[in-house]
Structure 1
């Protein structure tokens, strides 16, 4: 993380010790917010737009603690020019900034410069993603629901009308738990909706024509243009193009997604930012390309740079124009943020074969829904499946397996791991997946789950993590959860999760805490 932070001028003067202790950071308008490994949140630098969440607009040379976010295990920080959001590991959302259209979702149109938890309609939900402009906001929950709030003059909330909303309102369309080829209503004069030129406004969610049948894994919006990355490493762009930010060799706006061509091979990730007319991409060979207004020039096609990461593209804007397009983060084991995931080396044919109905020879039925798989793949990757399908078990001759007492989403992620070597699951579900990996004796998956659980532990779930660690005899997880509980003992004891623990687990926790001197006078 330290090397990544050093790319940004605002972090260069920090001590090496402090930089090693930062696990999450964002930069905006000459200010910075960072979260430490011990769950403290600080802001420093310029603060003319209230970015630092200190309750005022006074700049800070000293690092100032943002009390409302400390101890909340903040996992994500998202912002536009005048609105700011923080998401905790338990899915709570804290908002602050400009609110004249209700874009903070707090039930009023009053500005607030202190992080305030969004309660209305999201109080019992786990939010996993926030997407915001300076005037309206969208959130995605763990149960795949989408809520919107804020300015709605052009129907950008996707609710079918043009009335502003000051509290989160659920949208009536399906979400897949990730960004796909949907865009919400908005004014379309520059083609940002990806709809034809005769569509002036769109006030309900609608698929983008031209992306049908294409699986989109990433999507970013610039000032008035959009980029979409497909699962086969191709980039599509549309919208305003005065500065060449679409990368299609012209300055003509596009009302439909256009495939960007170039001598760069397969694209691994893309980037754009709400306040800039620049786009960027990194290839599987770790080469970074940029196009649009960049380095004082207009580049109409993707141009190779000397940068080593997408973050560095935005770090090199002068003075306070530098801004993070996504949070700078490290995982629990301090792996480099831009380190190439081993899943990128996984055979593409194997990834694509997951869920292939035609070639599958076994179906798992979970919560009444089917997941198609291949016995050969499961036998090669899991000893339990090998015994099940090759041994003298009734399951060996059955093409349909009924799975009870497991959730569909977690079992889907479990089977997908064998095909992709990736774990695509939110922290709140990682504990169940860890249990599943333990049952099926998939050691590598257990290790991946441990990383996610450790990043997602919070006061609200610490007791259940400790309980599960004891049940599964995982000493590593038990010790980690215990240290967290010890550090936040009073808060943990007052949670609903702690009240559900049986007496033996409570006794074990308190005995262990007493041995560490927790109850000394």
Structure 2
């Protein structure tokens, strides 16, 4: 298969994937209707899921018995068990065929779905949160305890911020705000709300998680009933159930307040957990992967360094219970995958020297944070840096370079590329990195960014990708973005991103579309 976006589950033992031709297939166990074939019969052969074919599915989310698919037009299909209305279809009737969620969500662009077995949260592009399903403990955050069979909007007005990410636990829910604050609600089992269980057993509206004052959280992930929060300074806080040491605090006792995990790792750039496992994992900016909890048949009470190179490998190696904690992706474009060999591998000494404070002789300050580098390496890898450091520029003899109008994460990835020859960045930031590579004339990095952008293009960002391609005179990116816009023209035109385009870009897009016969009767 040329393109793969799939998920598998611990109890389901199956997988779903999307091909480059926009067909969707599944195989494996099917007790809860996971394969969306209208029955509960397991399949050893790859079986087409007709209702999802041609929908340009970009992501799957599921629990043990409820399943969701998000399309590139940001609509959502649901199927599986529905005894509490957790599919959002207006009934409590199970369905084994993917069915589009209509009503209020039918008019919204969905960017994230998260679910437990019995309740579901949805985040839209305009930062609204909707919930539905079981509500016995207030886990829907609606101020009451009545189950809901259709999506109902939560009220976050009192928080003073907007929601950027959501997560479901078994009987509770969590939301991350743009302010870096966390809010939680539902049953306070194992102290998962970050509140003392003596003070509060449950909460039916979002309530701020205490113990994180003055800390800006950038990412939240949840396991079976524990939470991990990553701060903007690369630290990880954990709380909740700790029966196998999955909090990484050196004990197996539950914690009702966020506490730093044990150990000194340097800056951590990502964390992972899965709602079927008592395992936690993290990867540092030095690309070292740590795992803790119920791992390798042992209780690991503190983070343990592994031989893995990615977070995905941690969960893929769980004995008899391998899972994917996020959608897997391979190349979405038509370029052949190059086989790696020892002659093409980047020197290990060079990779490890990135960020070495003692040997660095230049510091880049981005958004008030420092990135240490080496002039010699930058001179060898980038013509602009060569001119800067060897020429008569004012920066030539300065050891500290102030970088404005760039984000820290993107500039960090930019410099790291010169040491590793690899790009480790999410698709939503690849466009900024592409522009940075264009400014510094790093053509090989531009090519890598193009691949990431192509993988991450969606209705919501297609217009901005097209606009940026014109600004940077990238004909390849412009043509790719145009073809995507043409295929989803109505949906793209209705996005906020399209409304922000200037009239010249809009005219260019429509003229190009007219030449392709888009407006013929």
The CA RMSD measured in Å over matched residues stands at 4.3
Asked if 2 retains the 8 angstrom alpha-carbon contact of 1:96 and 1:115, the reply is yes
Alignment match, 1:187: 187
Mapping for residues 129-148 of structure 1, pairs under 5 Å:
129-148=112-131
1:238 Cα deviation from its structure 2 partner: 0.8
Distance 1:471 1:218, change over 3 A: closer
Q: Does 1:289 align with 2:293?
A: no
Supply the distance in 1 between the matched residues of 2:331 and 2:412 (Cα, whole angstroms): 15
Distance 1:203 1:446, change over 3 A: farther
Supply the distance in 2 between the matched residues of 1:448 and 1:207 (Cα, whole angstroms): 40
Supply the distance in 2 between the matched residues of 1:30 and 1:100 (Cα, whole angstroms): 22
Distance 1:120 1:184, change over 3 A: farther
1:463 Cα deviation from its structure 2 partner: 9.7
Q: 1:421 aligns with which of 403, 408, 411?
A: 411
Q: Does 1:171 align with 2:154?
A: yes
Distance 1:158 1:442, change over 3 A: farther
- Gaps of at least 5 residues in structure 2 are 166-175, 339-345, 356-361, 371-383, 386-403, 414-424, 500-504
Partner-residue secondary structure (3-state), 2:191:
coil
Mapping for residues 185-264 of structure 1, pairs under 5 Å:
185-198=185-198, 199-264=200-265
1:128 Cα deviation from its structure 2 partner: 0.9
Supply the distance in 1 between the matched residues of 2:506 and 2:213 (Cα, whole angstroms): 51
Supply the distance in 2 between the matched residues of 1:503 and 1:245 (Cα, whole angstroms): 55
Asked if 2 retains the 8 angstrom alpha-carbon contact of 1:142 and 1:177, the reply is no
Q: 1:41 aligns with which of 24, 40, 54?
A: 24
Distance 1:347 1:275, change over 3 A: farther
Partner-residue secondary structure (3-state), 1:22:
coil
Partner-residue secondary structure (3-state), 1:311:
helix
Mapping for residues 259-278 of structure 1, pairs under 5 Å:
259-278=260-279
Mapping for residues 330-349 of structure 1, pairs under 5 Å:
330=330, 332=332, 349=365
1:222 Cα deviation from its structure 2 partner: 1.2
Q: How many residues align?
A: 427
Distance 1:458 1:196, change over 3 A: closer
Partner-residue secondary structure (3-state), 1:48:
coil
1:513 Cα deviation from its structure 2 partner: 6.9
1:134 Cα deviation from its structure 2 partner: 0.8
Asked if 1 retains the 8 angstrom alpha-carbon contact of 2:3 and 2:332, the reply is no
Distance 1:349 1:213, change over 3 A: farther
Q: 1:77 aligns with which of 51, 60, 72?
A: 60
Partner-residue secondary structure (3-state), 2:187:
coil
Supply the distance in 1 between the matched residues of 2:492 and 2:322 (Cα, whole angstroms): 41
Supply the distance in 2 between the matched residues of 1:69 and 1:144 (Cα, whole angstroms): 26
CA offsets 1:424-461 (integer angstroms, 9 cap, x no match): 9987x999x99xx79x9898899898667634556899
1:474 Cα deviation from its structure 2 partner: 5.2
1:329 Cα deviation from its structure 2 partner: 2.0
Asked if 2 retains the 8 angstrom alpha-carbon contact of 1:351 and 1:420, the reply is no
Supply the distance in 1 between the matched residues of 2:469 and 2:190 (Cα, whole angstroms): 54
Distance 1:348 1:291, change over 3 A: farther
- Gaps of at least 5 residues in structure 1 are 1-17, 355-379, 382-413
Structure 1 length-normalised TM: 0.69
1:421 Cα deviation from its structure 2 partner: 3.3
